[in-house]
Every structure is written in C-alpha cells, then in structure tokens.
Structure 1
Amino acid sequence: MEFETLFPVVLVSAIALLVVAVMPARFRLPQVVVLLAGGILIGPEGLALSSAESVSLLSDLGMGFLFLLAGYELDPGIARQPAGRLGMRAWLTSLLLGGAALWLLNIEHDVPAAVAIAIALSTTALGVLVPILRDEGLTNRPLGRYVLAGGAIGELGPIVAMALFLGANGTVVALISLMAFVAGIVALALAPRRLSMNRTRHLLGSMSDGNTQGPIRFTLVLLVALLANATFMGFDAVLGAFLAGMVLRAWAPVDREAFDAKLDTVGWGVFIPVFFVSSGMGLEIDAVLRSPWLPFAFMAVLLVVRGGPALFWYRRALGRRDRLRLGLYTATTLPLLVALTQLAVDDGSLRQGTAACLVFAGALTVLVFPLLARAIGVPAGTRGPTTTRSAV
C-alpha cells in the first residue's frame, strides 16, 4: 500500500521536469510551481491517488534538505557586508509593514495567526531566484548581489522569527534556548578553524566515491541530529535544518564542487520534490475557491510589504529601475512560504484555508514578479549611472 501511494508522487516529480523543459524559455515556470500543481492533481481534492500523510517521512526529509541547502549557500559574514546590512534593514521593515498591513486590513484577528502571516509575508524565495539570476546574467552584477543578500536575509530572518514567536516555548524562554542552541552551532561550525582537521578531511575524501559516499552519509547524520535537537528544544525543524547547512558549509570537503553536486543530487533528485508534491496534496482548494480574491490580495500585500522597502533602503545604491526590479525579486516567495505556513498550521497558529490562500499567493508571485522584473530590466549591455557600485 505504501508503494501504491508513493508511486504517483515520484511520477509527478519526474513528469514536472518534462513539463518545465517543453515550456518556452522566456515563460518557463519554476519547477516548484509545477510540483505543487501536480500534488493538487493527485491529492485528496483531485484524483485522490495519494495523500500528504502517506509520504510524511520523505516529505519531512525533503523539507530538511531544502533548508539545509539554503543554509549551506548562506555566507556567514553577510551581516558585515553593505549588501547584508541593507538586506537586514529591508527585512525588518517588511516584518513591521506586514504586521501593520494585517492590522489595517483586518485579515486575521487571532494574534498567533497574525504573527505567522506577518512572518510569512517577509520571506524571499532565494532558491527560486538563483537560477533566474544566473540565466539573466545578473549573478555577478550589483543588482544580482543585492538580490542574493536580500534573499539570504529573507530566508534566515523568518526562520529565526518563527522559532522565537511561534515555537513551543514562550518568547523569553525561546530566546534563551535559541541563544544556547546557536552557541552550540557556532562552536561546531568554528571547530574546523580551531582544530587541525586535515586527517579527518583526508579520511572523508577517501570515502567520497563509489559505494561509500562518506560525506553524504555524515551530512544526513548532521541533518537528522539537528532536526531532532531543534524539535526537542521546542523549535521548528526548519531552524535545525538551516543551521545544519551553515555547519556543513564550514565542514565541507576540500573538493566543494563535487560535494555540492552530490548534495543537489540527493536533495533535488530524491527528497525535495516529494516535499513540494506533498505540500500540494495538503492544500485546501475549496478554501481558495470560497475566497478567490484572497490570494490576489495577499500577492498585492507581498509586493508592498516585501518589495516596497527596496525602493527606500537602496535609493543610494541602485537606480530607480534596478530598485523596482529588486523589489519584485525580493517579493518573489514560495518554498519558505510553503514550509512556514505548513508549520503554523501544524501547531494550530494558522487555519488551513488561510494557509492555502497564502501558498497560492506565493505561486502567483513566482509566476508574475520575475517576468515583470525582466520586462522592466535594463537592456543587455546598458547600465544605469548608479549601478556600478559594489554590493559587497
């Protein structure tokens, strides 16, 4: 029975790649959107071929790998860089604007739900943006570096906020626990710098190929250990996964390129697609149909809350056109939005119907905002007078 319900999930994860591949390059959707749509199709509100409960373990591991890879890509010194400081100011402004928007619009009167939505509105889909920036040749340009820094803060900030305000403990207890947890993580991450790890790295390097795959096996140990430790201390599992990625960055083998490729193979080849398909199966389509205006309202709020601060904070660093593009890119969100809303639903902070509308709004941002940013972009080879400053 387990394989009968698993087969439609893995089939959707494979077919999603074909669907994306045959789309015109200019209008190609991120595979995350296609995976969610496939989950809706085979889920209880579609063909009823499978359900989120039937693949819960694989889905949880997929969520873990998703945030492990996000933490792995984060530069620990980003907060000391100009782009990181601007990204932090913009994210804090987004968090405040999100709370103010919910209060003014009366979208959600329940305090825990309002906090969960405000945090969700401050997220950025860095994993979705990286390939888009690479395809458009922006990765090494000032705009691209600001987007990457803002996206990194837009992933880390909401995860920490969720751990503080929506964890099992009170805020003060959660803060103390978080400081202790992070202190342990920092010590673990600094160990390779303080200790001579040459023999350990050489030993793991000798077990990196064939049927051994030592670095990948120990990565899985690290991930599961920190997932378990985070939940034991009352935090959401995503915090443990994200910090596991930061630790892994410090302990990564010398041959980073080959190791990175293996992480992508295991994460995106096996577990992460299952998480997104499972998330699609768990969406309440009826709730969206009952309030079809709400996803569009959330999309507009996302643009104002997450994209608006870019127009203010980056006015001395980027020209107006690039600030508009930066705002659209940073307001693009989906993977973290899916995970955080699911966690808020699981702990009772958010209604399933509201979560479904938020996820649909996130899917709309992925569909619309990058295309708009591309449409208003500076033509190839043209650069505004204020875009020559270094972002770092």
Structure 2
Amino acid sequence: MLSTSLLLSVLLILVVGKALGIVAEKVGMPSLVGELLTGIILGPVALGIIQPAAAGAEDPLRFLADLGIIFMMFLMGLSIDIESVFKTNARSATSITLIGAALVFTFSTAIMAAVGMALGQDIYFSVLQGLIIGIGLTSTSTVIGFRYLTDIGDRFSNVFKTLVAVEVTDGIFSIMALAVLLSIVGVISTASGSAIDTNGFMSEIGWSTFKLFLLMLGFIIFVIKFGGVVTDTLLGVSRKSGGEQSSQAIITLSLIVLFGVATMSDWLGLTYVIGAFLAGAILAGSPYTSTVIEPRIKAIGYGLFIPIFFAYTGISMDFGALLQGPALIVPGGIHLPLYLLLFAGLLVIVMGGKYIGTIAGCALSGGYKDNEPRRIGFSLMCAGEDALVIGGIGTSVLLNGSPLVTSELLSIIGLVVLVSSLIAPILIQRSFRDQDYSPPIAPRTKQSLGGKPKGRVKGL
C-alpha cells in the first residue's frame, strides 16, 4: 500500500540519486557510485531519513529494489549478443574471465570462510557466505573502461573489443555460478545439521548440481529455441499496429516475456533471477531490441527501479559494525577489526586477481601487443554492479533462519565496489599516458566511400 513516507522516500532517492549520479559521471565514475552514496546519506549511517524495515517485516521499498534486480538481469540478457561478439574475441575473453574469476573466487571464498570461522560461525555457513561473495566479486564493471575509451575516441581497438566480449563472458559465468550455488543452498537447508554425513552430503550436492545443470540446459534450449520463435512472431504481429501503438505493444510483450519466464524459472527452482536473464537473452536477437526494447526498458529500469535498488543497498549498509565488530589482537595490543581486514583483503584479491587473470589470459590466447594487456587489466579491475545484485540476493537467502549475506557483508561488498571505482580510473589513465597513443580509426566501409551502407553498426 502506498503511503506518504514511501512516496517521500522514492522522491528523495530519485532527486538526490540523480544529482550525485551526474557528479559521479563528471569525475569519470559510474553513476551507481552516486546512487550508492545516496542510500548511505539518506540511510541510518548519515541523516537517518530512510530506515530499512526490520527483519521479516514487509518493506515496500525493498519490493521496488527487488524489481530493480529483475530489470538489471533482464538488461544483462538483452546485451548478450554471443554470435557477433565472439567472432574475433571468444578465446581471449573466455581465458580472461575464467582465469580472473578462478583467482577471485578461490581467494575470496577462502578469506571469507576463515573470517566466518573466526567469528564462531558453522563451517558450512562460512563457506557458503564465501561462495556467494566470491561469485559476486567475479563480476566486472566495464563502465569506467568504456567511458575512458569513448572519451578518447577509441571504439575500434583490440582493447575495446576485448572489453565488450569480457562483459558477456563475465555475465554468463556469474549467472551460471549463482544458479549452482543456490541449488547447493537448497540441499543444505533441507539437511539436518546434526546428522550430516560428509560423503553422503557431498554426493547429494553433486547429484543436485548435476540435475540443476541438466534442468538449466534443457530450460535454456527450450526457451531460446522455441521462445525466440514465438516471441519474434508476436513481435511481428505487434508491429502491425503501426506508429507509437506498435512500440507500446512491443514493450508490453517484452514485459510479459520477462515476468512469464521469471515466473516459470522460479517455479522450476532456478530462481526468478535466472529467468529474468534468460528472458533478455530470448529478445537479444530480435530486430526491435536495439531500436525499441532496450532503450525503453533502460528508461524504465534506470529511470526508477535500478536507482532505488542501489540506494536501498546503501541504506542497508552498516559501516559502524565494521569497526565495532570482533577484532584481531596483534603484538603491541593493537586491535584490528576483522571486518575491516576482510574488506582490505577482498579489495586486494578483486583488483589483483582480475589484473593477473587478464595478463595471463591475454598471454594464453595471444594476439595482443605493446601495452594492450595492461590496459585491459586496469579496465577490468573495478568490481561490477552485479556484485551488489548478487549480494542483495544473498540477503534474502535464509539458512537456518539467518541471511546468507548480512548487513556487514553487504557493506563490505559496497565498499569494494566504491573503492575499486575510485582507483581504477587513475590506473587506466596512466596506462594510456605512459606513451604516445593514437586511437585506431573506424574501418573503411561502403558508406565512408560514398556508397550505400550495408547495415547499421550496433553500439553499446
């Protein structure tokens, strides 16, 4: 039910978030930094104007934030154009993603599990926390790299093409890993903690994961193969309406596909997040995606729901607990807060792991010269907004009555995103200024020679 407080909260989030988002973009950072700061400023950390609802209580603002997650995953699916992207960069993008993700995932899980056990948590719970945080932090924000390359007029270099491809492979890896993890959580949540047989338990997890893989594979094939045919047919019928009515019909149909596939996915136990991503993938190849669907869905998502999600994430952060929580006592009687150490460790792991993974992936795939691997590495060092999305999902996943991602852990994830967003632009600029650099010009086409164009160039 709408209330004055809810309307006021939405108003403040949109006004302050837009202002801070513009400021963030002016200084070369993604707008999500400003939207996160909006939540921190309006939330209990600073002004306390907006308060998150108590655990278990109904929170309409959280509902709007969850819709932001759905729209983000839908837009991620819409951006997946595997056939065109992977014609020239498949091997390098896959190598960079897998090596970097393996480093970040492994060490993030290890340090989170160690800290969790130091806090007195159950080993299974601590490991699962590490897994979901590790999966979230494997995602990369390419916004800063794209922004810098676009500003200097570089949209045709090997660096730019690789960033586009890695954005796709990162998204696929994150969504698949998240689906497997949620399946494992389902197995553990139904097991009795006092009667867990390790061998049988691991066997059950393996079998459950294998069934999930088959289910996902079958679901993806069915949805992409038959859903795409049905969708294209319906979109063709909608087009006959003509004019603005045609565009409205296409958007309505796109939303029907989004919530229909999300509902089906959740019913099958794959979660609505997977369904929202697949719904976008269904429509990615539509002739109306770049001209009608994506621009208008972005207007809906980034105009309302997604800023609310990032702001709500900032509202849910609890920085005081990071300093007041359990501490590690080192020689000299110095108390080092465990959560603060966890933040520092995750920041180093994320930025270092992605950079090393990029250098190794470029060397393995070959085809790069001069400082290209270094520039790509610095462009991929920023933790992505998907980390916050996955962290937000983790706050609603309960295991033995406790959320998998607590407010303290969500605060740490947010800090990693913020700090890496501040450091990455500096390193990117230095990597391009260390020697004379001239952006490559656009390839010559019939259009540039005075002939008729064969087709439009799809932008980001």
Residue correspondence of structure 1 range 170-209 to structure 2 within 5 A = 170-191=208-229, 197=233, 200-201=235-236, 203-204=238-239, 206=241, 209=244
Which residue of structure 1 aligns with residue 288 of structure 2? 253
Q: 1:267 — aligned with what?
A: 301
CA distance in 1, matches of 2:250, 2:49: 36
Alignment of 1:12-91 (within 5 A): 12-21=13-22, 25=26, 27-52=27-52, 53-77=59-83, 80-91=86-97
Alignment partner for residue 159 of structure 2, among 143, 151, 165? Answer: 143
Q: What's the CA shift string for 1:103-135, capped at 9, x where partnerless?
A: 664345522122212212211124565444433
For 1:188 and 1:314, locate their aligned partners in 2 and report how far apart those are by CA, in whole Å.
Answer: 37
Residue 40 of structure 2 contacts residue 315 of structure 2 at CA under 8 Å; is this kept in 1?
yes
Stretches of structure 1 that go unaligned for 5 or more consecutive residues are none
Q: Which moved more, 1:158-167 or 1:15-24?
A: 15-24
Contact residue 328 and residue 372 of structure 1 kept, 8 A: yes
SS at match of 1:213: helix
Measured against aligned partners, the alpha-carbon deviations of 1:348-391 in whole angstroms (never above 9, x if no partner) come to 43333223212210121122213311222157972599xx9xxx
Once the two structures are TM-superposed, the CA of residue 182 in structure 1 deviates from its matched residue by 1.0
2:48 partner SS: coil
- Offset, 1:345: 2.7
TM-score, with normalisation over the residues of structure 1? 0.86
Residue 364 of structure 1: aligned partner: 419
| Letter paired with 1:344 | G
The answer to whether the aligner puts 1:225 opposite 2:254 as a matched pair is no
The separation in 1 between residues aligned to 2:439 and 2:64, in whole angstroms, is: 47
Deviations, residues 261-319 of structure 1 (Å, cap 9, x unaligned): 32221121122111111111122222333433433321111012222111112133323
- Against the structure 1 CA distance between its residues 150 and 284, is the aligned structure 2 distance closer, same or farther, given a 3 Å change threshold? same
Q: Counterpart amino acid of 1:174? A: L
CA pair 40-262 structure 1, distance change in 2 beyond 3 A: same
- 2:47 is paired with a residue whose SS is coil
Whole-angstrom distance in 1 between the partners of 2:215 and 2:408: 32
> Within 2, Cα distance between the matches of 1:349 and 1:358?
13
Task: Give the drift of 1:75.
Answer: 1.0
Aligned to 2:456: none
Would the alpha carbon gap of residues 31 and 174 (structure 1) be closer, same or farther in structure 2, given more than 3 Å must change?
same
- 1:204–1:215 contact (8 Å) kept in structure 2: yes
Matched, 1:298 2:346: yes
CA distance 1:41–1:185, shift in 2 (3 Å): same
Residue 215 of structure 1 deviates from its aligned partner by 1.3
Indicate if the aligned counterparts of 2:265 and 2:274 stay in contact, CA closer than 8 A.
yes
Cα 1:104/1:213, change in 2 over 3 Å = closer
Q: Distance in 2 between matches of 1:327 and 1:213?
A: 41
Quote the RMSD (CA, aligned, Å). Answer: 3.1
Aligned to 1:239: 274
Q: Letter of the aligned partner of 1:173 in structure 2?
A: K
Is 1:120 the counterpart of 2:136 in the alignment? Answer: yes
- Tell me the CA shift for residue 2 of structure 1: 2.8
Structure 2 regions of 5+ residues with no counterpart? 53-58, 118-125, 188-207, 325-338, 398-402, 444-460
Alpha-carbon shift at residue 344 of structure 1 (Å): 2.0
What percentage of residue pairs aligned between the two structures are identical? Answer: 18
Task: Give me the whole-angstrom Cα distance separating, in 1, the residues matched to 2:9 and 2:305.
Answer: 14
Q: In 2, Cα distance between the equivalents of 1:14 and 1:380?
A: 42
Distance 1:353 1:55, change over 3 A: same
Give the conservation status (yes or no) of the 8 Å contact 1:83–1:149: yes
TM normalised by structure 2 equals: 0.74
* CA distance, structure 1, for counterparts of residue 255 and residue 163 of structure 2: 30
| Alpha-carbon distance in 1 for matches of 2:417, 2:25 | 22
Equivalent of 1:377 in 419, 424, 432? 432
Q: Distance in 2 between matches of 1:376 and 1:133?
A: 12
